[in-house]
Chains A and B, each alone.
Chain A
Amino acid sequence: MKSNKQVMKKLIVSIFLFFITTIIALAYLLSIIVSESVSYEKGSLEYYLLTTEIIKELPFTELEDANYFYSTADGNKPVENVVEFSTTKPISALSEYLIANKFKLLADGSYENGSQIIYIEYSENEKKQIKITVLEYLN
């Protein structure tokens, strides 16, 4: 039977390890949240922490292989979320998705909904390269 002293020692070590792990996790979380350049893939921790909902729910199966990018808001500069992928689906699917999500088409071809502005760039090939940039203002 373990003595009280041994149990106490184990408890202190466990609390210490928990404390250190929490500090490291928090430090990592804060470092990526205020980072001006984070690249990541779908399914990563960064994907769940940094990707805006309008990108997460895009109606394209090709997003499994997409490249994602994040840049923090910085004063009056907005948060920037970017996703790049290729698809054979018509670009109209994207417009329909944004309109269904209450985005309005602006004169320059971008879309706006409240604090978010979305820019779409794409190649005209059969397999289109699409780049979607979402700017979100935090004010």
Chain B
Amino acid sequence: MTERKHIVDALIAPNLDRGLIYTKKCGWVDLGHANPAKGASVLWEEIKNEKGKPSAKAGYYRISYSQKMGTKHIKIGIVKTYDLKKGMKLEQKKSVALSIFLDVSKDFETMQGNWFWGIFTDSSFSAEDLVSNLIGFYRAVEPQKQFIQICEPVSKKEALHIWDTYGAVGSNKNYRTTPYIYPIGESKNYGPMSSSLPPLLNTIQPAKQGILFYEVK
């Protein structure tokens, strides 16, 4: 979850890895969550190149993926371990990577909103979290595509207007990877509407756990 002062202009948004923008197609996007560096990119590189540790099961390798909050010295978060089948096709690897990424993202957001951490932060499932994470994943897997521009960011002035009219991003909870879209430059006769992401952000379908991969508990 971010604050009003973090809103940045659309012109510089594609080059930033922090700040908040509003987009016509993807709603609010937190550029920190949408930044693939050292998160989604590391996961994708591990799976693409099968870099994990040996698994106890023949024909599989093991990886761990985590998401955390806190500081360098005090970290709280979710760490999950999976066994993945060796020799998957590239498209299968993308599906498996997305499934793992979303699985850990959702568990992390759930942890943030549980009875204990919910006392200290209301960041859990903030409207832009999962959508921004998904954009970050696509940026990691297909870095040649301009996903921020595909989302059509609006000017800072328009983004501030939406914030002031409809409230802070954290006030709306979103448990899915479909964005909330607000009317721009129109009379305020309807509120946020759940919408589909642009087709290019819907080309990878998360794989189901089974032969290709499964969580190690």
Contact = CB atoms under 8 A, between A and B. Distances in A.
A54 B3 CA distance: 26
B1 interface: yes
Interface string B130-144: 000100100000000
B18 A34 contact: no
Interface residues of B, number: 38
Interface stretch (B117-125, B153-161, B191-199): B117-125
Interface residues on A, range: 20 to 34
B117 A34 contact: yes
A40 B10 CA distance: 29
A104 B108 CA distance: 32
A136 B18 CA distance: 12
B184 interface: no
Contacts, number: 94
B76 A34 contact: yes
Nearest to A116: B72
Interface of A is mostly: mixed
A31 interface: yes
B174 interface: no
Interface string B65-109: 111111110111100000000000000000000000000010011
A36 B1 contact: yes
Nearest to B36: A76
B69 A139 contact: no
Given A75-B105, A75-B108, A76-B136, A139 B72 contact: no
A76 B40 contact: yes
Interface of B: 1-3, 15, 17-18, 30, 32-33, 35, 37-40, 42, 65-72, 74-77, 105, 108-109, 117, 119-121, 123, 129, 133, 136
7 contacts: A34-B123, A75-B67, A75-B133, A133-B18, A135-B17, A138-B68, A139-B66
